[in-house]
Structure 1
Amino acid sequence: MAKRGNGEGSIYKRKDGKWMGSLTIGRDSSGKIIRKTIYGKTRQEVLIKMDTIKHDIKTSNYVEPDKITVEEWLLYWLKSYKKNKLKPRTYDSYESLSNINIIPYIGQIKLQKLKTKDIQDTYNKRYEEGLSASTISKINIVLKSALKKAITENYIVKNPADFVELPNIEKKDIKAFTLEEQNIFEKVAKDYSLFPAFIVNLDTGLRKSEILALTWNDIDFDKGEISVNKNLVVVKDRDREKGIKTLIQQNNGKTKNSVRIIPLTKRCINILKQLKVKQQSLSNIVFCSKVGTHVSPRNYSRAFQKVLKKANIDMCNVHTMRHTFATRLFEAGAAAKQYHNYLVIQVYHLH
């Protein structure tokens, strides 16, 4: 039997000829000493392993070996740390990015074996397959956050996602209707049930989710204002086995400045008054379906696309109405100064 100095651990030769070392690596929460056993074919091999562990402990780089995989940690992290913290839609996004773009590629790798190269190769492969730089950036946000928590839980020492190189995100051209296109769009849209919503969208620059969440108590006809204080989102109904999508109304906006008061144009006030009379208390939802329920964001977008096609306007998304609102304000020049505070808030929220 060979024994090392005090506090340096002990090394023994077993009856089967193999060598075994025992080393104190710390204490648990109750103060009890925690010892680590190391095995090797030779005394020198065990000694090297023990010296490596002692060095890692001294430099705060030691983590207890664990077999947990990237997939196992990611799913645990989502359920234990993010489910009750994130908004439902954000959680759905994190879960989807994990299940589709992370787990199938690096999920089987042991968490402690994950290298920056593994992540970089995955991002490069997905980018070459056509995945956008923007989506890859979102994937890295999720993975980086999960690995950061793994560090605090003492599973890993460094975050391999910190050192990847992400593809450059190309700025997309911002589409806004010309004045002629807007006039044509509004003329054609009159034949559609969502015409009032489109006009309010064009005249306020609200987000689609904000437009669809408006209720009549948000409208102050006397002051000619809208109170923007909630949005409509589509999330999974986790009480159902297949996670069917459902609509929910969130009472807080995208940012702390999302809750705001927006002035209405005269035509918006007139259109909304006519709509309220037409609805006859069918629903408290301003832009509701025929049965008084929320119009889904997808159906709103589909209706917008139908108007574009009939109006022979180049295809674009609903966000175009938001950009068009800002464009008309800027074109108004000096006249827009009276809406200075309103303009600053709205244009700030365009992106």
Structure 2
Amino acid sequence: MKGSTRKVGSKWQYVVDLGRDSGGKRIQKRKSGFKTKKEAEQALAKMITELNARTHIEPSKTLFKQYLIDWLDSKEHSFSAQTLSLYRSYFTNHIWPVLGNLAISKLTVTHLQRFIVELRNKGLSDTTVKRIYDVVNAALATAEKQQVIPKNVASLVDKPKIKRKEMQIWSKEEVHRFFEVSKESRYYIAFLLALTTGMRQGEILGLPWKNVDLDTGLLSVSQTLSHDGKQIVSGAKTNSSIRTIALPRFVVSELQRHKIQTAKNRLLLGGGYEDCGLVVRSSKGTMGNPSNLRREFIQLIKKAGVPFIRFHDMRHTHASLLLQENINPKVISERLGHSKIQTTLDVYSHVMPNMQKEAAQKFEDAVFGAM
């Protein structure tokens, strides 16, 4: 395979001779715009090498916007409805306005670096910026695998980093104070499950009675309520999130009481009651509303006079209190549904210093105490 370079105006170009087609017409591949002859010769050598090795990928003219649409369509059965909806919002609100009208083959590291800066300038959180970047990275990784592009340029960009915020949790005393004022709340059982099992909000609101075994004191997580509170989603956040959790005896008793009260409400409303089959439900028996739950939570926090935390921080409180009681991190990881124990240790590393001191003291007592 032969090629040559030549000057066209003030720039240089290369031409590669690819032979002739079936009609005898010469086939050539050329590229222009090089500032020097040396640059053109280097690009020519690279092109000939790729063509000989059959590794050359012709630049795609497909717009990144169209590729993202096709990519997400291909993931329809792999992603949950919530994930698909979230990704579409990322596309329309953030990705398409900046990168959508660029050909996927024209995307560069500079484009993506500027894109990340623009996301931050919008005031988005570090977590949101990283999630949007991860979507772009995943789509381009697929494009590289499918040989739509020769290289995923997102893999060459420094990934956005998340500054870990100091975790807000309650002490044992604060947990007790909150429970004292929440006992009469319609959502009391939801708060109780959050603090005693570490379940996520969607897992609690999506928990059916059929998954609760009051005889054995076990419940299983196998579905969630969507963020908008409109549908039950089979499965959980990850495969490891589908799990069985042992309940304290006190919680079993409270669930039994709650079940009896739910049955009484159903009888009182009669035909006006819709039995959704879930543990946490509205006064009319329908699925619990996430917004109402969070609103009630905030009001009870104020009433109890305890530090403000997010609903999700009750999950963190559960794990942190267990670690402080020297419960094996492996057990805690299983209760939370983490795929790896290292995730648990990383997230709750703030508890470790106190555990280190206690371990050192116990070692001293055991080994040197008798001396």
CA distance in 2, matches of 1:53, 1:330: 59
**How far off its partner does 1:232 sit?**
1.7
Q: Could you tell me whether the CA contact under 8 Å between 2:229 and 2:290 is conserved in 1? A: no
Q: Which residue of structure 1 lines up, in the alignment, with residue 168 of structure 2?
A: 175
* SS state at 1:214 partner: coil
How far apart, CA to CA, are the structure 2 residues paired with 1:205 and 1:131? 28
TM superposition shift of 1:313: 2.8
Aligned twin of 1:212: 205
C-alpha change, 1:246 and 1:348, in structure 2 (3 Å) is: closer
- For residues 157-172 of structure 1, the aligned pairs below 5 Å read 157-172=150-165
Residue 63 (structure 2) pairs with residue 69 (structure 1): yes
Q: 1:78 to 1:274 in 2, by over 3 A?
A: same
User: In structure 2, what is the Cα distance between the partners aligned to 1:348 and 1:258?
Assistant: 4
**What is aligned with 1:323?**
316
Alpha-carbon distance in structure 2 between the residues aligned to 1:255 and 1:35: 56
2:284 is equivalent to residue 301 of structure 1: no
Partner AA of 2:243 in structure 1: R
Corresponding residue to 2:134 among 122, 138, 141: 141
Amino acid in structure 2 at the alignment position of 1:64? E
User: AA paired with 2:70?
Assistant: Y
Query: Alignment partner for residue 83 of structure 1, among 76, 81, 100?
Result: 76
- Give the structure 2 partner of residue 274 of structure 1: 257
The equivalent residue for 2:18 is 23
**Structure 1's 108 and 190: CA in aligned 2 closer, same or farther, altered over 3 A?**
same
Instruction: Output one character per residue of 1:250-271: Cα deviation in whole Å (capped at 9) or x when no partner.
Output: 3322233322222222221222
Residue type of the alignment partner of 2:230? L
> Are 1:255 and 2:241 an aligned pair?
no
Cα offset, 1:300, TM superposition: 2.1
Q: 1:36 to 1:220 in 2, by over 3 A?
A: farther
Residue-pair matches, total: 311
**Contact 1:98/1:142 (<8 A) preserved:** no
- RMSD between aligned alpha carbons? 3.3
1:342, distance to aligned residue in structure 2 (A): 4.0
Question: Are the structure 2 counterparts of residues 36 and 317 from structure 1 closer, same or farther at C-alpha, using a change threshold of 3 Å?
Answer: farther
Residue 152 (structure 1) shift: 3.2
Deviates more, 1:59-68 or 1:314-323: 59-68
> One-letter code of the match for 2:58?
E
Match of 2:334 in 1: 345
Are 2:104 and 1:97 equivalent residues in the alignment? no
TM-score for both structures, normalised by structure 1:
0.77
Aligned to 1:311: 304
Contact 1:202 1:325 (8 Å CA) reproduced? yes
One-letter amino acid matched to 2:219? I
**1:30 maps to what in 2?**
none
1:221 paired to 2:210: no
Q: Which has the higher helix share?
A: 2
d(CA) in 2 for partners of 1:342 and 1:51? Answer: 59
Asked if the contact 1:133–1:166 (Cα under 8 Å) also holds between the matched residues in 2, the reply is: no
CA shift at 1:294, angstroms? 1.3
**1:94–1:142 CA contact under 8 A, matched in 2:** yes
Change in Cα spacing, 1:37 to 1:306, as seen in structure 2 (3 Å) is farther
- What is the one-letter code of the residue matched to 1:87? S
1:232 paired residue number: 225
- Greater alpha carbon shift after TM alignment, 101-110 vs 123-132: 123-132
* 38, 54, 68: which one aligns with 2:48: 54
Which of 103, 115, 130 aligns to 1:110? It is 103
Partner of 1:193, secondary structure, is: coil
2-side partners of 1:61 and 1:23: how far apart? 15
1:36 positional shift: 5.0
CA positional deviation for 1:119: 0.5
> CA, structure 1 residues 8+132, in 2 after alignment: closer, same or farther (shift >3 Å)?
same
Query: In 2, are the aligned partners of 1:23 and 1:50 still within 8 Å (CA)?
Result: no
Matched to 1:263, the amino acid is A
Q: Report the CA distance between 1:163 and its aligned residue.
A: 0.8
Report the CA distance shift for 1:35/1:186 in structure 2 as closer, same or farther (over 3 A).
Answer: farther
Shift in Å, 1:73:
1.3
> Structure 2: how far apart are the matches of 1:61 and 1:294?
55
| Matched-pair contact (CA < 8 Å) for 2:177–2:304 | yes
Answer whether contact 1:136 1:166 (CA < 8 A) is retained: no
Distance 2:126 2:242 in 1: 31
Gaps in structure 2 of 5+ consecutive residues: 4-14, 267-274, 339-343, 348-371
Report the Cα distance in structure 2 between the residues aligned to 1:66 and 1:303, rounded to whole angstroms: 53
SS, match of residue 293 in structure 1: coil
* Cα offset, 1:287, TM superposition: 0.7
Q: Match of 2:178, as an amino acid? A: F
